[in-house]
A and B are shown apart, each in its own frame.
Chain A
Amino acid sequence: MLTLEKRPQPSKAFAYLTPIFAIVMTMIFGGLLFMALGKNPFEAIRTIFWDPLFGEFAFYYRPQLLVKGGPLILIAIGLSLGFKAGIWNIGAEGQYIIGAICGAGAGLAFYPMEAWFIFPIMVIAGALGGWAWAMIPALLKVKFQTNEILVSLMLVYVAEQLLASMSLGLLKNPDGHGFPGSRNLKDYPSAFNDEIITGTGMHWGVLAAFIAVIFAYVLLNRHMLGYSIRLTGEAPRAAKFSSVNPTRIILFCLGTSGALAGLAGMFEVAGPSGQISIDFNSGYGFTAIIVAFLGRLHPVGIFFAGLLMALTYIGGEMAQGNLGLPGAAIQLFQGMLLFFLLAVDLLTNYRIKLSRKEAV
């Protein structure tokens, strides 16, 4: 009979190997799923993971990797700080929406003026919007011990309603012939989040994501606050004795993740998406949760996980177009990845041993 024995220390080797195990298992089971849908599994897997990078039209898809990976990495970096400390912000989608509304709103307030300072103001407004939205669960948790998981999630639905209200009301394009949605920021040079290097997909949001990865790495490995965050998550009692201030950790983790999600939303709406519309958000806030875990809550891991997840988005779209694979299958595929990841994580913390059957 197989039994589990807890390792004294989590295994380093397995910590690196398990994400790869999970990806391989997801490919196998995903392939079976695609087969059940009547598609050739090898062709489907190749379309999702290979063609966007090395296929015939890769020159078009490669920049998309950064466009889609940028916001995922940016949000996931923020989330990982909280997850490390056992603070579960799962409402990043809401903070992303509010950041986009605030950022676009700040930009459109200046329309049609052209000035260099408009874009920086939008960036600040986006970050503040996301931060403020995340401060609601943070303050409620600090003041009333309210569960931050439920509050942050409820606020996603509130944010979605606000988004609908904004795109039909306050931010609606006055020259839009009555169609819902704001002015397109692509036609407003001062507010447009253009590619920094043409043709690479590298816009300011991607740059921000890279900077966030570096900052998070330094914070967690070289800074007292980062140490306190890790301590709070791994040994709450020890954290209490070494007088780590839990209030400060909660406010910092939720606030930072909110601000980063808000930034991601702002960069998205000012760049690739272009306008505030009822459904401009595409679930990045939820996918970023998978990215954070897939990256093992480590900044560098999250960087690669974000790119991988972006790949499944792009490959998924290709598979939808070329193979007629339903979009939901990709969503399921991503969910499966998280499942396998959590399951194989067992190997990091436990040793599987063969033993005699115990007495019943």
Chain B
Amino acid sequence: MDLSAINPALLLASLLVAATPILIAGIGELVVERAGVLNLGVEGMMITGAICGFMATIITGSPALGFLFAALGGAALSLLFALLTQVALANQVASGLALTLFGLGLSALLGQGYVGLKPPSTPKLDIPLLSDIPFFGTVLFNHDIIVYLGIALVAAVWAVLKFTRVGLVLRAVGENHDAAHALGYKVVRIRVLAIMFGGACAGLGGAYISLIRVPQWTEGMTAGAGWIALALVVFASWKPWRVLLGAWLFGGITVLQLNLQAAGVSIPVEILSMSPYIITIVVLVIMSADKSRAPASLGRIFHASS
């Protein structure tokens, strides 16, 4: 066992990378849930985004286009969910599960010819001067643009929800859809847009796994990241900045256990590999005491009767 082999600067840097996919997917789901919709299909949208982005990158050779197509793929899949829950008024829990099962199958089918390929690498945003600062340069200023995009997205969602009219309407729809409808807001339209935003975010998060974090395509490679993103939203009590905190916490545990495995600590590998899931459960238990912040209309079906 050699713990000194773990470099704290690299550990923190990889924490930011590990946190990014669940951060982006989580902030997307936060918007969906604030609009009063519970989409349990995050895992399915993430894996679909992962393969869409991977395919587009291999075909075009451009990671930027890959991420674009990942977002489009995730949003397209989420549209199916929107159709089911907003138009066909189906149960949201069941529809979300269906979306995950469907997305896992779809991605496996699409990805058949792509196993073992290596995508062109995404350039790091090597900021001059800043990235040369010892320690902080490695940790903070030596990443690809998506890492920063994720953090910017959190800030943007926070600002929109808190300070703009759009955010106010979105929250109204999520808190009391009947009142929002009575005020003349198009509840279904707003929710469909929120669901598509969530889908695009989940797609981006998935593509980050297949294009940067791993980078490769294997079936079922998101391995529960979508479910952890869902847990993050509960953990965050539906507050944007807390999603960031939760993602870092979770990213930290993931990276730490991988480093401990590599360092050959005498804890069995299986125990280390299951630790992120166990910690998620523990955190959920601690946070579930605070139920007050859940949007009041979360998961309820809206049907304008007249």
Contacts and interface: CB of A to CB of B under 8 A. Distances in A.
B166 interface: no
Given A151-B284, A346-B89, A6 B305 contact: yes
B137 interface: no
Contacts of B268: 165, 169
Interface string B264-302: 000010110110011011001100110100000000000
A156 B101 CA distance: 15
Contact of A150 (B83, B102, B227, B278): B227
Interface in A165-184: 165, 169
Contacts of B234: 147, 150
B104 interface: yes
Interface in B70-88: 80, 83-84, 88
Contact of A339 (B80, B285, B303, B305): B80
Nearest to A169: B268
Contacts of A345: 88, 90
Contacts of A146: 281, 284-285, 288
A140 interface: yes
B50 interface: no
A154 B227 CA distance: 8
A342 B88 contact: yes
Given A328-B112, A338-B98, A343-B88, A150 B274 contact: no
Contacts of B94: 293, 338, 342
Q: Is the interface of A mostly helix, strand, loop or mixed?
A: helix
A11 interface: no
A153 interface: yes
B249 to A, nearest CB: 15
Interface stretch (A97-105, A197-205, A240-248, A329-337): A329-337
A162 B271 CA distance: 8
A343 B109 contact: no
Contact of B270 (A136, A164, A346): A164
A119 interface: no
A147 B98 contact: no
B109 A332 contact: yes
B97 interface: yes
Contact of A153 (B106, B108, B227): B227
Interface string B218-244: 010001100100110010000000000
Interface string A125-167: 0000000000010001000111101110111111001101100
Q: How large is the interface on A (under 10, 10 to 19, 20 to 34, 35 or more residues)?
A: 35 or more
Contacts of A342: 84, 88, 90-91, 94-95, 98
Contact of A161 (B104, B112, B231, B274): B274
Nearest to A329: B109
Contacts of B284: 140, 146-147, 150-151
A245 B246 CA distance: 35
Nearest to A332: B105
Interface in B108-128: 108-109, 112
B231 A150 contact: yes
B256 interface: no
A346 B88 contact: yes
B40 A149 contact: yes
A335 to B, nearest CB: 3
B93 interface: yes
Contact of B98 (A161, A329, A339): A339
Contact of A346 (B90, B104, B285, B305): B90
A329 B112 CA distance: 11
Nearest to A156: B224
A328 B101 CA distance: 11
Contacts of A153: 224, 227
Contacts of B280: 150, 154
A289 interface: yes
Given A90-B97, A140-B285, A161 B270 contact: yes
Residue among B84, B95, B274 with the highest chain A CB neighbour number at 10 A? B274
A335 B105 contact: yes
Contact of B89 (A162, A326, A349): A349
Nearest to B91: A342
A350 B289 CA distance: 37
Contact of B101 (A136, A145, A334, A343): A334
Nearest to A358: B306
12 contacts: A144-B289, A150-B227, A150-B231, A154-B280, A162-B274, A327-B108, A332-B106, A332-B108, A339-B102, A342-B88, A342-B91, A350-B303
Interface of B: 40, 80, 83-84, 88-91, 93-95, 97-98, 101-106, 108-109, 112, 219, 223-224, 227, 230-231, 234, 268, 270-271, 273-274, 277-278, 280-281, 284-285, 288-289, 291, 303, 305
Interface of A: 4, 6, 88, 90, 136, 140, 144-147, 149-151, 153-158, 161-162, 164-165, 169, 286, 289-290, 293, 326-336, 338-339, 342-343, 345-346, 349-350
Given A150-B281, A154-B278, 10 more contacts: A140-B288, A145-B289, A153-B227, A154-B280, A161-B273, A293-B94, A326-B109, A342-B94, A343-B83, A346-B88
